[in-house]
Structure 1
Amino acid sequence: MMRKVFSFWLCALLCSCHVLMAQQTIRVNNQWDFLKSDLGGVWEAMRPASEGSPESVPLWQKVTIPHCFNDRDGVDPDVNFYQGPGWYRTNMDIKNPYNNGRTFLHFLGSGQKTNVYVYTQLIGSHTGGYDEWSVDITDAVKNFLQSPEAKRFKGKVPVAIRADNTRDLEMIPSSMSDFNVYGGVYRPLELVYTPALSFDAFHIQATTDAAGNEGSLTFSSSFINAANLKDASLEITLRDPRNQVVKTITQPVALSSGEQQLATLSIKKPVRWSPDQPNLYTVTAKLSSAAGTAEWSGTTGFRHFKFEEHGPFLLNGKRLLLRGTHRHEDHAGVAAAMDDATIRKEMILMKQMGTNFIRLGHYQQHPLVLQLCDSLGILVWEEIPWCRGGLGGPIYKEQARRMLTNMISQHSNHPAVILWGLGNENDWPGDFPEFDKEKIRQFMSELHHLAHQLDSTRLTTIRRCDFCKDIVDVYSPSIWAGWYRGRYTEYKQETLKEIARVNHFFHAEWGADSHQGRYAENPEFFIQQIATGKGADERTGDFALTGGNARASKDGDWSESYAVNLVDWHLKEQETMPMLTGSAYWVFKDFSTPLRPENPVPYVNQKGIVARDLSPKEIYYVFQSYWLTQPMVHIYGHNWPIRWGNAGEEKEVRAYSNCAEAELFVNGKSAGVKKRDSQNFPAAGLRWNVVLQPGQNNIRVVARNGKTTVTDETTWTYQTEKWSKPAKLIVEKENQGNTTLVKVKAVDANGVLCLDAANLITWSVAGNGTLIDDLGTVGGSRKVQLANGQASIRIANNNGKSVVAATADGLTTGLIEL
């Protein structure tokens, strides 16, 4: 069943991504040199170097773009991640095919301040790490190729880029933000050739009524008009989701500066876009003039949405519970420099979880993400990175205005987008001596009006700034029941209280950190310490592992077991609130942050539904059991290799499923059939108390929905031996070709595995081998807490001998020779 669903989505992806035509776009990925430091000037990147001479220093390395120069150090447990300049250089073969055409370098995103040089000439600069921008290099290229210096480069054009993520209080986002402010050219870089007259920004405003009786399209554009032409002819063709031509408009265009409205179009009963049926229309525009023909192609969709006062959310006239999560642009081994295939994989995993909504936190994201949201059917909240720290001066404010303007201009064609986010946690001071709430209110109000001026069809929103909650259209307060404040059983009462406080409510950010692979037989041992009735808002400093009131984030075990309980409770309660618009779990994937060096995986926010390498945690399947329509079943604890308890003791076994009933088999014997009831917590009633035998146990479940049957199976070891405190580390190896998987176990003085041990392990290697580390995952960090007394890491063998050591304070070191 899941294979069929995947095929449908994959077809949608292949059919609906934006295409730029008659305007040649070439990704310039390869043949780049990189230097992770500053230069005395751009000449140091351009001067000739003879072998062995001082001019060959500093040493550059070969990289491909996208490239993030914090790809590893963002999660290095022993250093602060690098914040400063980095240089890129290459020699480009530039041949514009258009007579008197223009040549651009187009950045999809580079962080955080960028300068572009052709040879030694500064051509353009940009501040802001997340919006798209272009620099026209036409004249600089022409001048260079006519200069005496060109001979040395044999017809190619030397280009250098300086990307800089140095801390700067007058720049957004704040370095106090709970994510790394990365540096590098970490999204694709494109060489673009256009005719002398071509489209610059092309906008489509698609609207329809709640019943879908009428559809309206308005087309507008700004132009690149290097030849100062006055007239052109325009042809716009609209095709429906079946690729049938709906209408073609042909008309003259009197060219003017700035954006101008081109045409309007009405259609009866448009095929509407929704998460279940993400129907997209295709628009092709041809601009013909004395300069030739330029062409633009993209997609749009018709949908009508509304946030009712005090809930719920309506899409196309019907209630839709928004079932969402959040996304950071961050991935193991590459940080922000994710390739297209990985982005697609991530977004498909979200859709296969049942997601119909996403908040893109906390900045404008890769255009492919928005295209995939359109294609897959995922509604979007996208926001600018005015995140924490307070409010800066004129330079700061101008960047925020510019990034809001660019985000709306660049992403307003996407039917998936319904909310423009103006900020995040703007009640969090610290970057400036002054923290003036009234000035923050004034600027928030300015951004709110600017957003509506730029796009009258969507709403504005922020998360967690109560003194601005009356300014924006939709407000999300802080509700972290069961993690930063209170118990998760208080979630509903806190939510209902907040729904009553604002006209239009949404719940962004809830969840729990979980250390992948760590489970507990009693994950709520600490719960009586947690005060109730004190609210569920997270406050400054609550992320710290010391100080403050008792809370799950500090006093819990960070097990997947506790996270499963918390998520299960939230999802069951969300089904009982008809006025709830929806919520978004924070966050879909673990990501790096400079604020959490003491976490079980250092410098990683571990609230992800999946790990930083996209491997699912247990809560992924809990979400599926509530949100997915295709039948599924999953035995809770697949990666729980060893359970423990007394001989003959009954242990709870759960299955998470969206099917009507399920039957459990333990070692081939039926434990009975259970009926699913979403309000029967936990696991919607699909749980059994059974006796596990010491040693191996086969666990199998069969779930049924009418005539449809799905199954799942796993094997557990059951340990009845008792252990005392950890005394030593035992290291084992598993050869895997060019790499070796090395595992460590903490055992007591009698050699019994300590299944609750959570010691911090440090890996090291001597010899030819190298650690495959700095990935920000449980199996890819050289410092990591044990999960159920165990941890692992991979070693690149490098065709030689090595000795690997695992150390922990107070324990005998474990050693093994490879």
Structure 2
Amino acid sequence: MKRVFYFIAVFFLEIFSQRASAQQSTRLISNWEFLRQDLGGVWEAVRPVKQGDPESVPLWTKVILPHCANERDAVDPDVNYYQGPMWYRAQLKISNPYKNGRTILHFEGAGQKTEVYVYTTKVGTHVGGYDEWTADITDAVNIFRQDDSLVKRFKGKVPVVIRCDNSRDLEMMPSNLSDFNLYGGLYRYVNLVYEPALYIDQLFATPVVAANGRSGSVNIKLRLSDPGKLPGAQLLVRLVDPSGREVQKTQKALQLTGRDVEAATLIVRNPQLWSPEQPVLYTVEATVTTTAGAHTSRSRIGFRNFEFVKKGPFLLNGKRLLLRGTHRHEDHAGLAAAMTEELMRQEMIAIKEMGVNFIRLAHYQQSRIILNLCDSLGILVWEEIPWCRGGLGGAVYQEQGKRMLRNMIEQHYNHPSVIIWGLGNENDWPGDFPAPTAIGVDQEKIRTYMKELNSLAHTLDPSRKTAIRRCDFCKDIVDVYSPSIWAGWYRGIYTEYKEVSKSEFDKVDHFLHVEWGGDSHEGRHSENPDKSLQNIKATGTADERAGDASLYGGAARASKDGDWSETYICNLIDWHLKEQETMPWLTGSAQWVFKDFSTPVRPDNPIPYMNQKGVVARDLTKKEAYYVFQSYWTKKPMAHIYGHSWPVRWGKEGEEKMIKVYSNCREAELFLNGSSFGIKKRNSQDFPAAGLRWNVVFKKGANTAYVIAREGKQTVRDTIRFTYQTEQWGKPAQVKLEKIKEENGIATIEAKVYDAKQVQCLDAAGWIRLGITGDGILLDDLGTSSGSRRVQLYNGRAIIRIKTNGGSSVASAKADQLPVVFLDL
């Protein structure tokens, strides 16, 4: 019940935060039309056309916002994803209640270049797909309404047309060499906002807490809209504590001498400190009252201090905190970047429940909703601008980077979760621009620009640190540096992790390891995950080098020669986490990445165009690795037997097999087919599974295993059922296709590969293509192992779902060189 109330509180805090920054703000979600191509001009979007008139082409489709133009094609195995212009249009009912007030369209993010029109009048433009911006449409609306014929034609509503464009452009961040899609569309919320003639555009709050935590203060500055000449302005500033009690307030006359105003400095005795365990939030409220009306702006803040100790660990509020982190891309199955607030909340709660206290938001400014959730859930943040790969462009490119850095810092300045502003990622990665050196980038040019960004960040916000990842020739410029360490994936073996990390730690004053882990194909498991790795040698280094992400050529490495099983990745993560418990100097790390995401540079992965390093799939289905993290990072008792998505294990009759249990409990007892196999004590340094592993003999056919784990008086239980196959198989000879489930109009079909003797080939990992003809629709292009029409097999099988539409269809499956098979539905 306590957990239910906690998440309800989080929900209402988010609603409050979203709606408090404007006097009247409405999300524009429905009644939009979309066109994924260019027009000859905005007139084609608004010209009068009779229904059925052939001149009504091109055809627009109805959509709801947020909407991404690449919701499906980003992971279509047969095409490149669309990059080009696109249009949206809607007719808005506009009724501003303020005399001489301003009507504004507020964009929380749109990709990647955007133009805004009221009827045919351009009212705003923006370059950059990730920061917030506004278009003031007041004057254009007034002009439109002066034409009675237009008012009559649009029945009193105002036509708004928006052109987005994610075309390739070398002089725009981020680079198309980046390991993620540059999505197009209105993929974050668009809001219709009414403000009085004078309003607070931004509120900046800087909380400071004494080292002993007994006193604090918060300095409050305001940025006003154009103050004009309104007389008699009054300012009221209030500070409210987490329980809703007013702590302090101040009221005074406000001199409108410019946009930026020093509002107040409020003193707080014994402030409650914000932390991942207790993310307590205060509220700052500022109200400006003039003859134009009153405007109130609110922001949540938190009191905390932090330190990256030189050559040492990370401190929060004076105590060591091991940063236990992951990463997030803005991407989801069937939606791409167009995630709803509810989906974002669901994802961030899953991240918190994994035990995370730190996140790097990759590789761009993310939605305000995500930052609000980090504040309220207690997740520290590294957020960065999308200067990612390709080198460094010219004046336009560099100005965009500075603008995006300024916007990110100013727009997310008040969030207590933010501790690091990221200035770039993999900026030593060449490709977009000619360079005078053999390494492909102009190091001095990049160093000069990095220094400019670092200086700008510290000028805008002296209270936080700057950081970059993987650009060794700039590591002396920023406050915190993360080198490339991919032990056991792109280079070397995972048992080198601690040694390599300590070596890199010694090279800088402030070290933080972000990006580690490896890919796993959801549903693929292995009885011997290390067999294919016997040629990989310890190297003493673990960096990712040019070509390492390729599945072809180069030295032996897990990313190319491994089996991409969940089994191997669980072992890799298990080793990293056990080692981190014995590294007292470590600030922390962030595993790459929480959720599988789409990328244009990985067409040959087991799910084409997917980076599969997530511990959850692209639809938030948990992989086995999720529970490895829980077993090390969470306190609530949990236990998970490895293999919930492994329906058939294999081996010889009488052969001992290992069952692993991931649990944070002190002890666990395993039962197999009704018999106890004893109690094991947890020891984090006893690899694998912290000692909670049993070598047992399965019976041929059906097996049931369950575990009872104990932590004091609390017990938790987990059960799995699986088949044990002892028949040996030969070369794949045929595919069988069958329907295994149907409910709510959705049929699930499964393809399995067998040898000539009808024995299932449980190690088959080749390609299979699934299809449909008839009334049904294949639920594919989702970027998941069960939502892709072309996918690598996982243990000799593949699953996909079909929307039957109440009719009849024929499904098909074609695996490698085997004959195609059909199934009547």
Query: Normalising to structure 1: TM-score of the pair?
Result: 0.99
Counterpart residue identity of residue 38, structure 1: D
Correspondence list, 1:575-654, <5 A: 575-654=581-660
Post-superposition offset of 1:345: 0.3
| 3-state SS in 2 of match to 1:69 | coil
Please give the alpha-carbon distance, in whole angstroms, between the structure 1 residues aligned to 2:805 and 2:757: 36
Kept in 1: contact 2:231–2:290 (CA 8 A): no
> Over residues 719-738 of structure 1, what are the superposed CA-to-partner deviations in whole Å (9 max), with x where a residue is unaligned?
10110011110000032231
Counterpart residue identity of residue 330, structure 1: D
Post-superposition offset of 1:404: 0.3
The answer to whether residue 793 in structure 2 is matched with residue 795 in structure 1 is no
Counterpart residue identity of residue 709, structure 2: A
Post-superposition offset of 1:668: 1.0
Kept in 2: contact 1:300–1:413 (CA 8 A): yes
Correspondence list, 1:128-527, <5 A: 128-147=128-147, 148-225=149-226, 227-434=228-435, 435-527=441-533
* 2:88 paired residue number: 88
* 1:100 paired residue number: 100
> Over residues 533-569 of structure 1, what are the superposed CA-to-partner deviations in whole Å (9 max), with x where a residue is unaligned?
2410001221110011110000000000000000000
Q: 1:6 to 1:545 in 2, by over 3 A?
A: farther
The answer to whether residue 784 in structure 2 is matched with residue 777 in structure 1 is yes
Q: 1:562 to 1:21 in 2, by over 3 A?
A: closer
Aligned residue pairs, count: 816
Please give the alpha-carbon distance, in whole angstroms, between the structure 1 residues aligned to 2:339 and 2:429: 30
* 1:706 paired residue number: 712
Please give the alpha-carbon distance, in whole angstroms, between the structure 2 residues aligned to 1:15 and 1:676: 38
Post-superposition offset of 1:15: 3.0
Please give the alpha-carbon distance, in whole angstroms, between the structure 1 residues aligned to 2:172 and 2:640: 46
Kept in 2: contact 1:621–1:656 (CA 8 A): yes
Counterpart residue identity of residue 255, structure 1: L
| 3-state SS in 2 of match to 1:699 | strand
Post-superposition offset of 1:418: 0.1
Q: 1:114 to 1:458 in 2, by over 3 A?
A: same
The answer to whether residue 774 in structure 2 is matched with residue 767 in structure 1 is yes
| 3-state SS in 2 of match to 1:395 | helix
After superposing the two structures, state which structure 1 stretch, 43-52 or 399-408, moved more: 43-52
Counterpart residue identity of residue 302, structure 2: G
The answer to whether residue 128 in structure 2 is matched with residue 121 in structure 1 is no
Identity of aligned residues (%): 60
Post-superposition offset of 1:227: 4.4
Please give the alpha-carbon distance, in whole angstroms, between the structure 2 residues aligned to 1:306 and 1:246: 28
> Over residues 591-648 of structure 1, what are the superposed CA-to-partner deviations in whole Å (9 max), with x where a residue is unaligned?
0000011011100000001000000000000000000011111101111111100111
| 3-state SS in 1 of match to 2:370 | helix
After superposing the two structures, state which structure 1 stretch, 23-32 or 253-262, moved more: 253-262
| 3-state SS in 1 of match to 2:506 | helix
Post-superposition offset of 1:230: 4.9
Kept in 1: contact 2:85–2:166 (CA 8 A): yes
> Over residues 423-477 of structure 1, what are the superposed CA-to-partner deviations in whole Å (9 max), with x where a residue is unaligned?
0000001001122100100000000000000001000000000000000000000
Counterpart residue identity of residue 743, structure 1: E
Counterpart residue identity of residue 487, structure 1: I
* 1:756 paired residue number: 763
Q: 1:6 to 1:786 in 2, by over 3 A?
A: farther
Kept in 1: contact 2:327–2:362 (CA 8 A): yes
Q: Return 5+ residue gaps in structure 2 as ranges.
A: 436-440
Q: Return 5+ residue gaps in structure 1 as ranges.
A: none
| 3-state SS in 2 of match to 1:126 | strand
Q: 1:619 to 1:4 in 2, by over 3 A?
A: farther
Post-superposition offset of 1:226: 6.0
After superposing the two structures, state which structure 1 stretch, 433-442 or 502-511, moved more: 433-442
| 3-state SS in 2 of match to 1:225 | coil
Kept in 2: contact 1:642–1:719 (CA 8 A): yes
Counterpart residue identity of residue 198, structure 2: L
Post-superposition offset of 1:210: 3.1
Counterpart residue identity of residue 449, structure 1: S
Post-superposition offset of 1:814: 2.1
Kept in 2: contact 1:48–1:55 (CA 8 A): no
Kept in 2: contact 1:13–1:375 (CA 8 A): no
| 3-state SS in 1 of match to 2:770 | strand
Post-superposition offset of 1:363: 0.3
Post-superposition offset of 1:231: 4.2
| 3-state SS in 2 of match to 1:388 | coil
Counterpart residue identity of residue 757, structure 2: N
Cα RMSD after superposing both structures: 1.1
Please give the alpha-carbon distance, in whole angstroms, between the structure 2 residues aligned to 1:460 and 1:21: 27
793, 801, 816: which one aligns with 1:809: 816
Counterpart residue identity of residue 290, structure 1: T
Counterpart residue identity of residue 352, structure 1: E
Please give the alpha-carbon distance, in whole angstroms, between the structure 2 residues aligned to 1:379 and 1:417: 6
The answer to whether residue 34 in structure 2 is matched with residue 39 in structure 1 is no
Please give the alpha-carbon distance, in whole angstroms, between the structure 2 residues aligned to 1:387 and 1:795: 38
Q: 1:494 to 1:21 in 2, by over 3 A?
A: closer
Kept in 2: contact 1:461–1:475 (CA 8 A): yes
Kept in 2: contact 1:210–1:305 (CA 8 A): no
Kept in 2: contact 1:235–1:286 (CA 8 A): yes
Post-superposition offset of 1:21: 6.3
* 1:747 paired residue number: 754
718, 722, 734: which one aligns with 1:716: 722
Kept in 2: contact 1:485–1:535 (CA 8 A): yes
Post-superposition offset of 1:216: 1.4
Post-superposition offset of 1:683: 0.3
Post-superposition offset of 1:65: 1.0
Please give the alpha-carbon distance, in whole angstroms, between the structure 1 residues aligned to 2:482 and 2:405: 19
Please give the alpha-carbon distance, in whole angstroms, between the structure 1 residues aligned to 2:664 and 2:442: 49
Kept in 2: contact 1:386–1:424 (CA 8 A): yes
* 2:438 paired residue number: none
After superposing the two structures, state which structure 1 stretch, 633-642 or 318-327, moved more: 633-642
Counterpart residue identity of residue 295, structure 2: A
Query: Normalising to structure 2: TM-score of the pair?
Result: 0.98
Kept in 2: contact 1:758–1:789 (CA 8 A): yes
| 3-state SS in 1 of match to 2:722 | strand
Correspondence list, 1:523-534, <5 A: 523-534=529-540
| 3-state SS in 1 of match to 2:763 | coil
* 1:728 paired residue number: 734
Kept in 1: contact 2:231–2:291 (CA 8 A): no
Please give the alpha-carbon distance, in whole angstroms, between the structure 2 residues aligned to 1:228 and 1:638: 68
* 1:64 paired residue number: 64
| 3-state SS in 1 of match to 2:278 | coil
Please give the alpha-carbon distance, in whole angstroms, between the structure 2 residues aligned to 1:520 and 1:7: 41
Kept in 1: contact 2:469–2:483 (CA 8 A): yes
Post-superposition offset of 1:314: 0.2
| 3-state SS in 2 of match to 1:664 | strand
Please give the alpha-carbon distance, in whole angstroms, between the structure 1 residues aligned to 2:106 and 2:218: 28
Q: 1:233 to 1:227 in 2, by over 3 A?
A: same
After superposing the two structures, state which structure 1 stretch, 529-538 or 410-419, moved more: 529-538
Please give the alpha-carbon distance, in whole angstroms, between the structure 2 residues aligned to 1:489 and 1:686: 20
| 3-state SS in 2 of match to 1:526 | helix
* 2:12 paired residue number: 14
Counterpart residue identity of residue 454, structure 1: L
Counterpart residue identity of residue 180, structure 2: F
